[in-house]
């Protein structure tokens, strides 16, 4: 039995459908990340789980029991809000313990729980401070502490790192990952940042316009995206997408001519493709080789921008008749703007999407 299950859940606000027929499950101790662009419904979905919004249709099951009408406080969930939602007039200790005080838990028990959680989050020296006296990262930890102290069945995180600067975001991301292991917690985490999703999740649910695009492990989604949306949403820099046309297909292989000139045979389940079909070919920036030796297809181009990041070099190559192609090269590549290059596209790294944007399955 799953820890939490959403079964055909929909949510409408008046005439607007925010969530449409969504089903997924969360297992015990699983870290599930709901990811998608702004306005895709991920926060609404979290609020439906939390009970802060009513479910219009479908079922929310927790440990197999229907929880649609159960008040938020009785769902055994704790939520960390994007804004942290710390009570400005309460100290750190009071912020963390407010739920226990409302539940009239014994003062000694509250004190011991506060110090226990403060130790986990290194907040011991800050317990008497007010939120306005804390840094962004410290506030974030207090908000997490307030969730931990309730010992919930499931943690809900609503874009918890979006208000932090880049360095702090990285640090807190690591802390949340450690915390997940330390507490053996079940976590549902909302973010629009695909890096957070890829690094934290056991399972990613990709959402777009109120619908699920794909569910899977981070690497599963990265290597086998179901459609163009997932393919281009996950990965930074984005996957290169090249329009083309099927020019020859037999039982196992389709030959695809790219609009920008190259031609390549690709092993796909060709029964869905016939000659003349429009397709989009996708290739990740790190899969492209500069220098065409041994590749199934190659494209000539001119380097327009070079970004040296130290560990890797991002190269933007202008292709005649097409959009620029992004290439990632390992280390500090010795390449300059204006250099003429040949980009090799290994057939094994290509993704093919049909006219509707759906992936065409590879063979093998």
Decide if 215 contacts 227 (C-beta within 8 A): no
Taking the least distance from each CB to other proteins, the nearer of 77 and 279 is 77
Q: Rule CB under 8 A: say whether 88 interacts with other proteins.
A: yes
Q: Rule CB under 8 A: say whether 133 interacts with other proteins.
A: no
Q: Rule CB under 8 A: say whether 79 interacts with other proteins.
A: yes
Nearest approach, Cβ of 98 to other proteins (angstroms)? 6
Q: Rule CB under 8 A: say whether 99 interacts with other proteins.
A: yes
Q: Report the residue from 39, 72, 248, 291 that binds other proteins according to the rule CB under 8 A.
A: 72
Q: What mask of x and - would describe binding to other proteins in positions 19 to 58, judged by CB under 8 A?
A: -------------------------------xxx------
Q: Report the residue from 12, 23, 73, 217 that binds other proteins according to the rule CB under 8 A.
A: 73
Query: Which are the contacts of 119, defined by CB distance < 8 A and separation ≥ 6?
Result: none
Please state the separation of Cα 246 from the chain's center in Å: 32
Nearest approach, Cβ of 47 to other proteins (angstroms)? 8
Structure tokens at 351: 């993704």
Structure tokens at 12: 């409408």
Q: Which residues of 152-180 are buried (b: 16+ CB within 10 A; e: fewer)?
A: bbbbbbbbbbeebeeeebeebbebbeebb
- Measured CA to CA, the distance from residue 332 to residue 62 in angstroms comes to 50
Q: Rule CB under 8 A: say whether 74 interacts with other proteins.
A: yes
Q: Rule CB under 8 A: say whether 130 interacts with other proteins.
A: no
Decide if 317 contacts 337 (C-beta within 8 A): no
Structure tokens at 182: 């330390």
Considering CB under 8 A, how many residues would be counted as binding other proteins?
A: 23
Could you write out the DSSP letters of every residue in 6-61?
A: EEEEEEEETTEEEEEEEEEEE-TT-EEEEE-STTSSHHHHHHHHHTSS--SEEEEE
Q: Rule CB under 8 A: say whether 1 interacts with other proteins.
A: no
- Measured CA to CA, the distance from residue 338 to residue 172 in angstroms comes to 40
Q: Rule CB under 8 A: say whether 77 interacts with other proteins.
A: yes
Q: Report the residue from 21, 27, 81, 245 that binds other proteins according to the rule CB under 8 A.
A: 81
Nearest approach, Cβ of 318 to other proteins (angstroms)? 46
Beta sheet of 4-13, edge-to-edge order: 16-26, 4-13, 57-62, 65-66
Nearest approach, Cβ of 87 to other proteins (angstroms)? 6
Q: Rule CB under 8 A: say whether 78 interacts with other proteins.
A: yes
Binding site for other proteins (CB under 8 A): 50-52, 72-74, 77-79, 81-83, 85, 87-90, 98-99, 102-103, 146, 150
């Amino acid at each position: 039995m799953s820890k939490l299950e959403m079964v055909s859940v929909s949510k409408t606000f008046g005439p607007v459908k925010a969530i449409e027929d969504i089903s997924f499950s969360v297992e015990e101790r699983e870290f599930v990340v709901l990811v998608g662009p702004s306005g895709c419904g991920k926060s609404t979905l979290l609020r439906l789980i939390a009970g802060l919004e009513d479910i219009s249709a479908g079922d929310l099951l927790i440990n197999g029991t229907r929880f649609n009408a159960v008040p938020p406080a009785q769902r055994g969930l704790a939520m960390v809000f994007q804004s942290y939602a710390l009570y400005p007039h309460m100290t750190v200790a009071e912020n963390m313990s407010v739920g226990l005080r409302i539940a009239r838990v014994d003062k000694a028990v509250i004190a011991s729980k506060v110090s226990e959680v403060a130790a986990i989050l290194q907040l011991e020296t800050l317990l008497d401070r007010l939120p306005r006296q804390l840094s962004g990262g410290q506030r974030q930890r207090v908000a997490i502490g307030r969730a931990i102290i309730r010992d919930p069945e499931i943690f809900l995180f609503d874009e918890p790192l979006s208000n932090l600067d880049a360095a702090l975001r990285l640090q807190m991301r690591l802390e949340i990952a450690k915390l997940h292991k330390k507490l053996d917690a079940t976590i549902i985490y909302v973010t629009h940042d695909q890096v957070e999703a890829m690094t934290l999740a056991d399972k990613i649910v990709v959402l777009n316009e109120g619908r699920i695009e794909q569910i899977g492990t981070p690497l599963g989604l990265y290597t086998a995206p179901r459609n163009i949306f997932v393919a281009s949403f996950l990965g930074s820099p984005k996957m290169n997408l090249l329009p083309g046309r099927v020019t020859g297909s037999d039982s196992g292989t389709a030959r695809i001519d790219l609009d920008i000139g190259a031609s390549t045979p690709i092993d796909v389940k060709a029964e869905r493709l016939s000659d003349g079909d429009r397709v989009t070919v996708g290739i990740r920036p790190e899969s492209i080789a500069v220098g065409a030796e041994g590749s199934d297809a190659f494209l000539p181009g001119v380097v327009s921008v070079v970004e040296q990041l130290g560990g890797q070099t991002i190269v933007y190559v202008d292709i005649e008749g097409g959009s620029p192609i992004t290439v990632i090269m390992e280390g500090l590549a010795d390449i300059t703007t204006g250099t003429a290059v040949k980009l090799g596209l290994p057939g094994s790294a290509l993704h093919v999407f049909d006219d509707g944007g759906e992936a065409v399955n590879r063979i093998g």
